[in-house]
Structure 1
Amino acid sequence: MVFYFKARPEAGDYTIFMGLDKYENEELIRYGFPEDIWFHVDKMSSAHVYLRLQKGQTIDDISEGVLEDCAQLVKANSIQGNKVNNIDVVYTPWSNLKKSASMDVGQVGFHNPKMVRTVRVEKRINEIVNRLNRTKVERKPDLKAEREAVNAAERAERKQQLREKLSYRILLRVKRDLHHSRFMELKQKRREELEKLEKERQAEIRSYKGLMVSEKMTSNKQIAETSKSLQELEEDFM
């Protein structure tokens, strides 16, 4: 059996939950979500209370109001902690919970003690506890199936993201290939134009050289020898 509670509505849509006993706590430890934050009364026996954050949120995103709800619920569900004031409640991300084969059922440790935070609870506030209890719902969830369903959804999402990324890369490659193909086409066209111009230039040079053949040319000396002088022309005229 797992008990579900709703945190104060003004803080957002947050679910708080805890197991009926140490066996449910064991299941919650095993099949938690990355968004889960674990709460427990420090150095005393208490329920294992979890807060499920929104996807993408971290422990730093917990508001003071929601933190107070979780701390009060943990205190109210600790036989010893509910009787005394000024207790400490520790909390840490679910991923930081450490479970070894030598531990008793429901017992838990931490991978990194530096990731464990503490909040002081001076006294029980009945107004908060009663409000939370009015939202309590009892369920017998298949925690393993829920976790597997989430894992499957996450795998499908990663595959979709990979497909989209691959499609984008293919599109970029096609565009790049098209640009390259167009560039090579223009380059080849330019080369052909230059070759054509060079052929025309060579043809003009050959034509000009043909006009410059010595047999077809008259030198200045030849012109001078065959031409009459100005005086001779004047005498002929007279």
Structure 2
Amino acid sequence: MVLYFKARPEDGDYTIFMGIDKYENEELIKYGFPEYIWFHVDKMSSAHVYLRLPKGQTIDNVPEGVLEDCAQLVKANSIQGNKENDVDVVYTPWQNLKKTASMDVGQVGFLNPKMVRTVRVEKRINEIINRLNRTKVERKPDLKAEQEAVNVAERSERKQQFREKKRQEDLERLEREKQAELRSYKNLMVTEKMTSNKEIASTTKSLQELEEDFM
């Protein structure tokens, strides 16, 4: 089961979600997307909370209010972290998560520690948690199928973009060839290079002259 929440609407349409247990967390780790940002209480057990970003947005421009919602939610879903003040929450792009065969279910590391950010949560803010809980929806998604469907759609879009690029390149090539042909034709029609009928007549022997030459 995956729990879905809506972040504060004044900052945009952002979806926050988390697995209900470590096995669901494992699925989310395996079948994520580049648009996901992963959150966890630092050095404590907690839920794995994800934020889905719009395409084109990065970890560097997440609205502060949305960041606070995610940090509060992950703190509230940590047994130890929920009891303490001044808790650090780490977050990083889903693509930066590292999973090896030796790790326990739901356990992750980082491919690049420099891509991990930290936000300090001074205390639990019940107003935020209550607002998020009012938007909570439980779903049991087929994460593998969702990932494959998105991948198929993206591959189809890339193919369409490639075909459109190829078509545009062909049109540009044909236009260049047409312009080159026109330039070549114009060169052939330059006045200095042309001979008039009068000039041809003046340099051509008459029938009588030809007969005289023959005799």
CA distance in 2, matches of 1:199, 1:172: 43
- Structure 1 residue 152, shift from structure 2 partner: 0.7
**1:83 partner SS:** coil
Q: Percent of counterpart pairs with the same letter?
A: 74
CA distance in 1, matches of 2:113, 2:124: 27
1:127 is aligned with what amino acid?
A: E
**Matches of residues 183-202 of structure 1 in structure 2 within 5 Å?**
183-190=183-190, 194-196=193-195, 200=199
- Structure 2 unmatched runs, 5+: 206-215
2:165 is aligned with what amino acid?
A: K
2:16 is aligned with what amino acid?
A: I
1:46 is aligned with what amino acid?
A: S
**1:13 partner SS:** coil
- Structure 1 residue 203, shift from structure 2 partner: 3.8
CA distance in 1, matches of 2:81, 2:194: 95
CA distance in 2, matches of 1:203, 1:122: 105
What's the counterpart of residue 16 of structure 1? Answer: 16
Based on CA coordinates, which of the two structures has the bigger radius of gyration?
1
List structure 1 segments (4+ residues) > 4 angstroms apart after TM superposition: none
CA distance in 2, matches of 1:120, 1:19: 23
Cα pair distance change 1:198/1:118, threshold 3 Å: farther
**Matches of residues 125-164 of structure 1 in structure 2 within 5 Å?**
125-164=125-164
**1:153 partner SS:** helix
**1:131 partner SS:** helix
1:21 is aligned with what amino acid?
A: D
What's the counterpart of residue 108 of structure 1? Answer: 108
CA distance in 2, matches of 1:97, 1:198: 84
- Structure 1 residue 71, shift from structure 2 partner: 0.3
The alignment's C-alpha RMSD in Å is 2.1
What's the counterpart of residue 69 of structure 2? Answer: 69
**1:82 partner SS:** coil
- Structure 1 unmatched runs, 5+: 207-238
CA distance in 1, matches of 2:99, 2:140: 23
What's the counterpart of residue 86 of structure 1? Answer: 86
**1:32 partner SS:** coil
What's the counterpart of residue 45 of structure 1? Answer: 45
Instruction: Considering fraction of residues, name the structure with more helix.
Output: 1
Q: TM (normalized to structure 2)?
A: 0.91
- Structure 1 residue 188, shift from structure 2 partner: 2.1
